[in-house]
Structure 1
Amino acid sequence: MFRIRPIYDTTVPVDSQCVEQVQTILSERFPFIAPEEVINLPATLKNPMAKGYRTILFVAERQRKIVQGFALLCHFSDLRFCYLDFLSVSLVHGGGGVGSALYERVREEARALGDTALFFECLPDDPSLCPDEILLRENKARLRFYERYGARPIVNTAYETPLSAEDDCAPYLVADPLDKPFQLSRPRARSIIRAILERKYKEKCSPQYVRMVLDSIPPSPLALRETRYLTETISANRQTISADRKIAVICNHNHRIHHIRERGYVEAPVRIDSILREIKKTELFTLREPRHFSEQYITAVHDKKFVTYLKRVCSTLPENKSVYPYVFPIRNAARPPKELAVRAGYYCIDTFTPLNGNAYAAARGAVDCGMTAAQEVLDGRRLAYALVRPPGHHAEHRAFGGFCYFNTAAVVAQHLSAQGRVAVLDVDYHHGNGTQNIFYERSDVLTVSIHGHPRFAYPYFSGFHEEAGEGPGLGFNRNYALPEEMHGDGYAEVLRRALDFIRDFDPAFLVVCLGLDPAKGDPTGTWSLQAKDFFLNGKLIGALGKHTVVVQEGGYRIRSLGVNAGNFFQGLFEGSRLARSR
């Protein structure tokens, strides 16, 4: 079995390893390719528009990250067309339908980018153009393969004219109309062919050659060659989303063990159910089961004594018994009380976040989901969502509170930071004091929070504009503290500024603390964002084009919770798609 996925850059180590294998296949299968083109492939992916088009690499890989084949797609976003540069399978690991699967994935990408057709070159199957009988047979087989999908050579142009008198077997320009009627006017055909010859082959095609080909294009709309090999084509009219483009969602289904039934406790299990119900209605998600990770990932961001305390106190509490902090040792924090229940205040920032027999287990489950989402991204996926409760962004290095016990987003950011710089964007109504606290003196993890001003919003003591980081972290923490009333348009303007700040930081990874409590009518907030606003916010964030892990935080108005979540992720998916097309 193999999977196909896109590689947009070599930020993630697994992608870098795959690109090295692709370079080997390129050299083996295309011996006449310029060595510098093979060597420069990682740089081409990193700077996709340097040549006037964006390069996207698709790989078919087995387990253990063995590349069986690849396709290299060039997207000319200004002219809205894709050009398939290479499609090949490995001499050693290829076969088994890899070539067909790669081509079908490329066609899907071209459709998703809104392109009118997919273009590529194919050597001719005409003996007068290709006298080599062995090569001619190969060319016929290749054109027969593409004809199954409706792709055929464009006729009545001089595109297949050799570059010089010594050359032969010059390629056809083939067009795949992507299951639509083929319509290509002369002006559009000239624009597309000029772009291919001048941008893709600018070092090979002289201005005189380009002019000759362009002048050969007839006034009438261009046509494809009549079907030569097949009577039926493969139809793919249903627009599906391939597995690699979907958002991996990881949910800690065992979150229900943490159910506080006291009146007014809004952090309830129904929150996850309502979100899951709505997002399942879309085709955007693929469900992944959470993996278990060791406690060392938690203690990488949380004090070990704090973690040990939570584990101990939760293990001693009887079923349906909750302990609320009520004594806070501000006079002598160095001497914590011996009684575990009393000591809760030593590690807590408020009086309404209880400890019970399941709090530790549920919080550990949330971290497992976050780490699984992070691993999905490190394995090459673009978007992953940890749909978890309890939330985590209020949990500090050695303190819990605000319904939060362990800071899942911080654990994820810490893990990802080993592979590159990380930006954490918190869009919860309440300030992400825990994440700020954990990374306040670091420059490799940027923390940005958009929230209600602490003069009226929890946690009240942090989230002020002047809190910018300390020591090496100075300038790497930014707070956007907003007024009590805020509508969608005003919020989006602030979000744009925050994203510009993140863009300047240029992280390898983005962690989004997704709060849905900016919604109109949320019992813990005062703002008025609606479904369309969450869609726009998601779209703006997705347009960053980063490997992104979304961690669920707040959001407590059950009636609109799922709809708002669904809209956010539809926007995130759309924004990510647009980022690929630029």
Structure 2
Amino acid sequence: MFRIRKILDNTSISNRDTIEQVREILKKQFPSARKEELVKISLQLNDPMKYNYRSILFVVENSLGKVKAFAMLLHMPDIKIAYLELISTAPGKTGGGIGSALYEYIREECLLLGVRGLFFECAVDDSTIISDETILKQNIARMKFYERYGVYPIINNIYASPVNVGDQDLYYLMMDTLGQEKPIDLKLGHKIVRAILERKYGDLISKSQISEVVRSFKDEYFICRAPKYIRKPVTSKVALKEREKIILVVNEGHDIHHVQELGYVEAPVRIPIILEALDKTGLFLRIQPKHVSDKLLKQVHLGAYVDYLRRACEIIEPGKSIYPIVFPLRNMARPPKDIELQVGYYALDTFTPLNANAYKAARGAVDCAVTAADAVINGTHIAYALVRPPGHHAERRTLGGFCYFNSAAVAAHHLSSFGKVAVLDVDFHHGNGTQDIFYERRDVLTISIHGDPKFAYPHFAGFKDECGEKEGEGFNINYPLAQNTTPEQYRRTLISALKQISKFTPSYLVICLGLDTAKSDPTGTWSNEAKDFKEMGRLIGALKIQTLVVQEGGYRTQTLGENAGNFFEGLWSGFVG
């Protein structure tokens, strides 16, 4: 089994190790590659402005993280094309369909990027030019591979002419239309060819040579060579297949946590209501959660806090809930010995209970969120952890706001091993727990749009001037909004937040989905309706960042399902549509 993973930066240890494996493959497969080209891989990922294109490294790796193949895609949004700079399997790993799977994956990505075409170079297969029979055979094999997808060289130009007299290392410019029927006219064609040559070879080819090649393209539209080896392509169109499905992971054991007390709105009925609405969309593919070790959980939450929750819930009498009655903040080093008295040592408020099933339900929510995160790491566009209890109020060492473990934060921390992460909290209440956990980190950008803490829970966090500390300074952004914020005002704020996320260029996006911004929600004061949630989802999806959604609040059961369904329809259409 293998997975295909996108790498957009080299900030994590895992990504740096993967990039080094890619360099080793390059050295073995292309012994003549310049040292500058090997170093350039990291530079391209980290500084797109310098090269005037955005680089995306795709790696095929096994369950142990061993790279079996890779490709480097250059996205040039100003001319709406993508350029496949490199694609290679590891030595001795050409079989097994890895190359095909990788190329098909890249075609899907290009479709999502909205480009007019995918361009790349392929060595010439002309026997009058290539005298070495072994090399000619290799070149023909490559051309056959691309012809399977209906991809051919652009003809009637001198692109494949030698730079220096006697050169036999020559390449056609190939065009994959991705099954789109709109042709490339000459004006756009000249822009494309010039951009490729200048951005790729500006330091190797003179401006006059570049201009000469550009002028050689004279046809009214780009024309490709007729099929030479395969008369009927396997497919020329791009199908998104299962990757367009939203992976759904449900905390099936959530209903054991049922606090039947007046005013406790975080009820089990929330999950089946949302599920019923999701089933109607046809967008979801459900998978089962896998158990996550305590090691990962304790990288996010204080170990003593995790152990206390498990121990306390094990000894609490079934059917009974305990609440904090003392808060030993003046002497944190000497907590009470009694389990019930210790609650205040790990609590933010007086209305979040501990009971026999709180730990089990919260632990299951973590398993679901991390399982969904793994689906995203493995290539899924969007995954949804439908869980309760919620988690975004749980700080590193405290529970509160119906939250025990911060499922979204654990998942975001897990994702951060594979690239930068942005967390966007759209719950009505500030995500104080997520802010607390990542407040000193720069690899995880945390953004929260919420009711001003002057009137909304948690009251002590979520102010605009809380911007992060130490390495994390500037990587925490709060948007506290007024009590009577309108849907239009909310939408404008969301757009501002999404601009911050785009600027951060994360590999992954985690959405803390609170549906309590809805009209008449018992815990909120805003008035978002189904159409507003759909637009919210569309705007987020349009970022086209691999996205994990983790369920947080939302308590008006009359509209909960409708709002959830509309959000995901918008998210899917923004990303894939």
Contact 2:530–2:566 (CA under 8 A) maintained in structure 1: yes
Deviates more, 1:322-331 or 1:142-151: 322-331
1:70-219 matches, within 5 Å, as 70-168=70-168, 170-181=170-181, 183-219=183-219
Aligned to 2:230: 230
**1:191, CA displacement in angstroms?**
1.4
Inter-CA distance 93–360: structure 2 relative to 1 (3 Å threshold): same
The Cα shift of 1:258 comes to: 1.0
* Ranges in structure 2 where 5+ consecutive residues have no aligned partner: none
What displacement does 1:389 show?
0.9
* SS of structure 2 residue aligned to 1:87: strand
| Structure 1 residues 467 and 213, CA gap change in structure 2 (3 angstroms) | closer
The answer (yes or no) to whether the contact 1:241–1:283 under 8 Å persists in 2 is no
- AA paired with 1:356? N
**Distance (whole Å) between structure 2 residues aligned to residue 361 and residue 333 of structure 1:** 30
Separation of aligned partners in 2, 1:279 and 1:370: 18
- Deviates most, 407-416 or 24-33: 407-416
Q: Where does residue 523 of structure 1 map in the other structure?
A: 522
Q: Secondary structure at the match of 2:58?
A: strand
- Measured after TM superposition, the shift of residue 476 of structure 1 is 6.8
Q: Deviations over 1:444-474 (max 9, x none)?
A: 8765433223443334455455666789988
User: Deviations along 1:505-544, whole A, 9 cap, x unmatched?
Assistant: 8888765432121122322211112344435545655677
CA change 1:158–1:277 in 2 (3 A) is farther
Instruction: Tell me, in whole angstroms, the C-alpha distance in 1 between the residues paired with 2:276 and 2:360.
Output: 24
The AA in structure 2 aligned to 1:451 is: H
- Are residue 27 (structure 1) and residue 20 (structure 2) matched? no
- SS of structure 2 residue aligned to 1:71: strand
Matches within 5 A, 1:287-306: 287=287, 289-294=289-294, 297-298=297-298, 301-302=301-302, 304=304
Cα distance in 1 between the residues matched to 2:329 and 2:301:
26
Secondary structure in 1 matching 2:15: helix
1:367 corresponds to which residue? 366
1: CA distance between counterparts of 2:140 and 2:417?
49
Distance 1:169 1:254, change over 3 A: same
Give the partner amino acid of 1:88.
S
Q: Deviations over 1:18-60 (max 9, x none)?
A: 2212112222222333221112211212223422222222222
1:363 shift after superposition:
1.6
Distance (Å, rounded) in 1 between the aligned partners of 2:188 and 2:556: 51
Q: Is 1:490 aligned to residue 493 of structure 2? A: no
C-alpha distance in structure 2 between counterparts of 1:159 and 1:77, whole Å: 23
In structure 2, what is the Cα distance between the partners aligned to 1:222 and 1:472? 50
Alpha-carbon distance in structure 2 between the residues aligned to 1:429 and 1:153:
54
Distance 1:308 1:70, change over 3 A: closer
Aligned mates of 2:169, 2:464 — CA distance in 1: 66
Residues 514 and 550 of structure 1 are in contact (CA less than 8 Å); yes or no, is this contact kept in structure 2? yes
- Tell me the equivalent position of 1:63: 63
Matched, 1:391 2:390: yes
Deviation at 1:154, TM superposition (A): 1.5
The share of aligned pairs that are identical, in percent, is 48
Counterpart pick for 2:323 among 303, 318, 325 = 325
Which amino acid in the other structure matches residue 129 of structure 2? L
Conserved in 2, the CA contact under 8 Å of 1:297 and 1:415?
A: no
Q: In the TM superposition, what whole-angstrom CA distance separates every residue of 1:154-204 from its partner, at most 9, and x where no partner exists?
A: 222222222232223522222222223362221122111111222212223
1:479–1:220: structure 2 CA closer, same or farther, 3 Å change rule? closer
The whole-number CA distance in structure 1 between the counterparts of 2:218 and 2:296 is 68
The residue correspondences of 1:457-472 to structure 2 (distance < 5 A) are: 457-460=456-459, 462-465=461-464
TM-score by length of 2: 0.85
**CA separation of 1:294 and 1:495: change in aligned 2, threshold 3 A:** same
With normalisation by structure 1, the TM-score equals 0.84
Q: Secondary structure at the match of 2:239?
A: coil
Deviations 1:275-302 (A, max 9, x none): 4455564557673623232278348534
Corresponding residue of 2:426: 427
Query: Structure 1 residues 568 and 45 mapped into 2: Cα distance closer, same or farther (>3 Å)?
Result: farther
- State whether residues 543 and 576 of structure 1, in contact with CA within 8 Å, keep that contact through their aligned partners in structure 2: yes
Distance change >3 Å, CA 170–CA 251, structure 1 → 2: same
**In 2: Cα distance, 1:164 partner to 1:299 partner:** 57
CA contact (8 A) 2:108 2:238 kept: no
How far is 1:98 from its partner?
1.4
* 1:414–1:114 CA distance, 2 compared to 1 (3 A): closer
Shift of 1:124: 2.1
What secondary structure sits across from 1:187 in the alignment? helix
**C-alpha contact (below 8 Å) 1:366/1:390 kept by paired residues:** yes
Gaps of 5+ in 1: none
| Contact 2:392–2:403, Cα closer than 8 Å, also in 1 | yes
* Residues in 1 aligned to 2:242 and 2:495: alpha-carbon distance in whole angstroms: 30
- Is this contact kept in 1: 2:463–2:478, CA < 8 A? yes
* CA distance in structure 2 between the aligned counterparts of 1:247 and 1:258, rounded to whole angstroms: 27
1:407 aligns with 2:388: no
Alpha-carbon distance between aligned partners in 1 of 2:199 and 2:381, rounded to the nearest angstrom: 28
Cross-structure match for 2:555: 556
For residues 178 and 545 of structure 2, the distance between their equivalents in structure 1, rounded to whole angstroms, comes to 28
Give the direction of change, closer, same or farther, for the CA distance of 1:395–1:148 in structure 2 (3 Å limit). Answer: closer
Contact 1:363 1:390 (C-alpha < 8 Å) held by counterparts: yes
The whole-number CA distance in structure 2 between the counterparts of 1:419 and 1:150 is 34
Residue 436 to residue 15, structure 1, CA distance change in 2 (3 Å): closer
More off after superposition, 466-475 vs 195-204:
466-475
Residue identity in the other structure for 1:208: S
Distance 1:37 1:559, change over 3 A: farther
Question: Contact conserved, 1:190 with 1:217, CA < 8 A, in 2?
Answer: yes
| Secondary structure in structure 2 of the residue aligned to 1:20 | helix
Aligned-partner Cα distance in 1 for 2:111–2:63: 28
